[in-house]
Amino acid sequence: MTDSTRLYELDTPTLLLERGKVRANAERMRSHIASLGPQLRLHVKTAKSLEVTKLVQGEAPGPITVSTLKEAEEFSGHGYRDILYGVAFAPNKLARALALVASGVKLKIVLDSVDTAKTLASLLKPTDPSLPVLIEIDCDGHRSGLKPGDPKIIEIANLLASTPAKVCGVMTHAGGSYDCRSIDAIRAMAAKERDAVVMAATSLRNAGCDASVVSVGSTPTATYAEDLTGVTEVRAGVFVFFDLVMAGIGVCRIEDIAVSVLGTVIGHQREKGWTLIDAGWMAMSRDRGTAKQPMDQGYGLVCDVAGRPMADLIVVDASQEHGIIAHRSGDPARMPDLPTGTQVRVLPNHACATAAQYDRYRVLDGGDRVETTWTRFSGW
């Protein structure tokens, strides 16, 4: 496909990316984190794209976080050397991790289990390359990690002290921030996140262990953090695109959302107030992250082809290849006439999940023309 393709020429569904919005989102986050002191370690799991990462970081490879070893392998092949694998480590991935290190990657892994530490210690040989470990801290009861005062933190550090997988610090993820319902609540969560890892790092240092890395991360807390004293780095990724979940908790505006799915009207059930499009849950994903928010956006918020939200139109239901657009109220009389063949754009609930359905981005830079196409990858 050549550049400057018009949207009406595209087959649908397809994933659109607005370059100017990504650029603006990235600049806001970079400036904010820089003002607080830590480095920004971009999480590349949202975009899974070299071109998007370069747009956010610049041409020179910077520090990144990955959620899969596939991401680490893809990005290391393009010169990215400072990589944090931010998921609790499974020993069956050791050979791939060591291969990355042998290729020149400064890879850090994460764990929160004494059992995993014992397994790693038994598998690693003294001649293996260095594979630094961050201990995951549970700051909010949301997912995994050890509580900041748990004695297992020191036990893990001691277990690994004589192996190539020495502990070098701590990390946490304030996933509970996604459930906050006010900016003040997010700010409080950011402080709680910071306090948890600083406390854990202090306990490591007091025991004579290394805690040179103190890592926090979630887009909501990164956006509204006010004091990151004691933190060395911030990990975030969804801010690059944003989505309806982020808009629903006040982290961004609807107009900041940089990705959308282009779909085409394929039919109607007028007595029900339904308009059918060719973008079902295979195009939007099954994610219903806004369902527990005050404003449920269904499977996505409907916009016109220029990206302007259409008053209270959402994708209320979806099957594999069909999306059903209706007025939020359910009143058929309030459904605008969208003739067959009309194109619409749907904003996603969760940018990571929706983007994962595609192998490329059709990049817009203002107007209705595709300026270029950027690839993205998937897999583990």
pLDDT tens digit string along 296-321? Answer: 999 999 999 999 999 899 999 999 99
**What pLDDT is recorded for position 253?**
98
- Quote the longest CA-to-CA distance of the chain: 73
Give the Cα separation of 33 and 22 in Å (integer): 17
Beta strands of the chain (E only): which ranges? Answer: 5-6, 14-18, 39-43, 64-66, 82-88, 106-111, 133-137, 167-172, 213-216, 233-236, 259-269, 274-277, 301-303, 309-318, 323-327, 343-347, 360-364, 369-375
Q: Output the average pLDDT for the chain.
A: 97
pTM to 2 decimal places? 0.96
Given a cut of 80, whether residue 93 has pLDDT beyond it is yes
**What pLDDT is recorded for position 3?**
61
**What pLDDT is recorded for position 1?**
43
**What pLDDT is recorded for position 368?**
85
Q: Please say whether the beta carbons of 260 and 242 come within 8 A.
A: no
- Identity of residue 379: G
Give the Cα separation of 214 and 85 in Å (integer): 15
Q: What is the pLDDT of residues 54-66, one digit of tens each?
A: 999 999 999 999 9
- What's the rounded mean pLDDT across residues 240-265? 98
Where do the domains of the chain lie, and which CATH numbers do they carry? Answer: 5-13+258-375 (2.40.37.20), 37-240 (3.20.20.10)
Would you mind telling me the total number of residues written for the chain in this entry? 380
Given a cut of 80, whether residue 342 has pLDDT beyond it is yes
**What pLDDT is recorded for position 234?**
98
Q: What is the pLDDT of residues 113-165, one digit of tens each?
A: 999 999 999 999 999 999 999 999 999 998 899 999 999 999 999 999 999 99
- What's the rounded mean pLDDT across residues 277-292? 97
